[in-house]
A and B are shown apart, each in its own frame.
Chain A
Amino acid sequence: MLIGKNATWAYIVARTKVMKRKLIPKEEFRKLLNMEFNEIVRYLEETEYKKEIDELAYRYSGPRLLDYALYLNLSRTYSKIVRVSFGLAKELLIQYLRKWDIWNLINILRGKVANATPEEIEETIVAAGERDLEFYKNLIMKEPEEIVKAFEGTPYNEPLSKYGTVPISEIEDELFKIYYTEITKLKPAELSLKLFVDFVKMEVDIKNIKTILRLKVEDVSAEEIVNKIIPNGYELSVDEARKLAAMSWDELTKSLEGYWFWKGVEIEKEFSTIEVEFDKAWIEAIARKASNYPLSILPVLQYMVLKKVEVDNLRILGWGKWQNIPNEEIERQLVIL
């Protein structure tokens, strides 16, 4: 019988293991790749996604139905994980899922800037974070100043208070920086917290390297690239990012060899495909770490990432088939491990 610290994790890990078994196996994606859009939806009607597809079928159709159903399922899955967890696990998961709150907040502000209708804004909300859909529905109806007020006392208040005086893109990036910094600045006293912080730091590394390469492709100056770097990465610190940003493309790609995320990345491909390779490297690294620490937050986070990847893969297949994108291109964008 498990006692002590590990018991906290054993329950939640067991629950997520059961949920993980329900994920669509990678062999199935090969089959799905050769199906038509309607066949994919029929296939999904026999899986975990049936409930959401049926629920939204009165409102949407075609790939939009699939898109919204997948996101609804994702947010419900995340809510379920938070619901079944307790103690430190619950706290950490809520903290991790706050990125969806940022995503929703950004979309509301974008909508306000563009004078979009409440319905248009609501369609972009994914209630997978700490706050529920009702909270966002109320927020959408408010004026921008009231929205900013709603976040008074939180770390996000500072960038939000700049609303209207600086471009919205700056606020967006600042919000994400604060989100990641709030987690990565933690000084973990125990292993479970350290594993969580390291996991997020690895995510920061992936975000940063994508940012560096993406802006480098566009010939953005080193100083501007550094402004977009999230501090406290796993291996990639701000100083290292500054050095990389100042290098030429060839030097940069050579210097990246040796970093944990630079495994089998072929730089000759289109940049959007390279992003997929980074995601694969990240997921593989998480899987390795999760198997080393089976009774920790990592298997739970790994499941959450795998669930997101599954949702993304299904959406790529659905929209890809609907938009007649060639199978080879769809396959290039899929993250199958």
Chain B
Amino acid sequence: MAEVQPTRMELIKLRRRIAMATRGHSLLKMKRDGLIMEFREILEEAKEVIGSMIEKYEKAQQKIALAIAVDGAMAVKAISLACCRIPPTFTIKRKSIMGVVVPVIKREKVRKKVIDRDYGVLSTTARIDEAVAAYEELIDAILEVAEIETTLRRLIEEIDRTKRRVNALEFRVIPSMEETARFITFKLEEMDRETIIKLKHLKAKMARREAEEARKAEAEAKAAA
């Protein structure tokens, strides 16, 4: 505050900045509330998607357990050599939710027909198909969860950032600027008062001088007469 020049121009600038900060504060509050609402909606969706992923995981575990039990660990291992090392393909695009850039995963369905899988039909059984299908669905679900989880994380980060900005404006920036404005106003008033007193002093001095001069002139006139 020591560096602030207590001038009228500075006060005008400061008042403009306070007005802008107040407007920004209310906009950020609205953005924060909007993001929270968006977050809640996506959270509900995420709960469903995660729940379904857990179900698919449990189903896949049961199916693989059955496939291992019936066809043997060797058969399942042999199939895994053929088909489970091909990573799923997907492209990441972006979309904006209230200015927050979130990913949209465009994935090619991992789920394939038996005929398109990397193992033969004649040397395998339906249990292997069921287990592979269950895991393909699980991978799809994991990608879906990854997408929604990243969106939620980005939203949380943005909500947090916006909250910090709102709080900084509300409790630090605006009060500090208002205090500075009050200080400048006080200083300006002080200066006004000083000027008035100075003027009054000057006026009294001038009046006294004029009275003296008038007295002198009167005395000279009397002496001349």
Contacts and interface: CB of A to CB of B under 8 A. Distances in A.
B85 A325 contact: no
Interface in B66-88: 66, 68-70, 72-75, 77-79, 81-82, 85
A330 B85 CA distance: 30
B122 A312 contact: no
A210 B65 CA distance: 21
B127 A121 contact: no
Given A106-B123, A176-B122, A272-B125, A120 B74 contact: no
A113 B127 contact: no
B93 interface: no
Contacts of B81: 107, 110-111, 113-114, 116, 120-121, 124
B68 A167 contact: no
A319 B69 contact: yes
A168 B82 contact: yes
Given A116-B81, A218-B114, A207 B122 contact: yes
A202 to B, nearest CB: 16
A8 B130 CA distance: 45
Nearest to B79: A110
A214 interface: yes
B72 A172 contact: no
A214 B129 contact: yes
Contact of B68 (A111, A116, A323): A323
A325 B127 contact: no
Contacts of B82: 110, 113-114, 168-169
B115 A325 contact: no
A211 B68 contact: no
A123 B70 contact: no
Interface residues of B, number: 31
B51 interface: no
A71 B74 contact: yes
B215 to A, nearest CB: 120
Contacts of A168: 82, 118-120
Nearest to A324: B65
B9 interface: no
A323 B69 contact: yes
B64 to A, nearest CB: 9
A67 B73 contact: yes
A87 to B, nearest CB: 31
B115 A220 contact: yes
A123 B81 CA distance: 12
Contacts of B130: 271-272
Contacts of B123: 102-103, 106, 172-173, 176
Interface string A117-129: 0001101101000
B73 A272 contact: no
A214 B129 CA distance: 9
Contact of B119 (A169, A211, A272): A169
Contact of A214 (B68, B74, B121): B121
Contacts of B127: 272, 275
B66 A333 contact: yes
A333 B70 contact: yes
Interface string B122-149: 1101110110000000000000000000
Given A124-B78, A228-B121, 15 more contacts: A63-B73, A67-B72, A113-B118, A126-B74, A169-B120, A169-B121, A210-B126, A211-B122, A215-B115, A220-B115, A228-B115, A272-B130, A316-B70, A323-B68, A325-B69
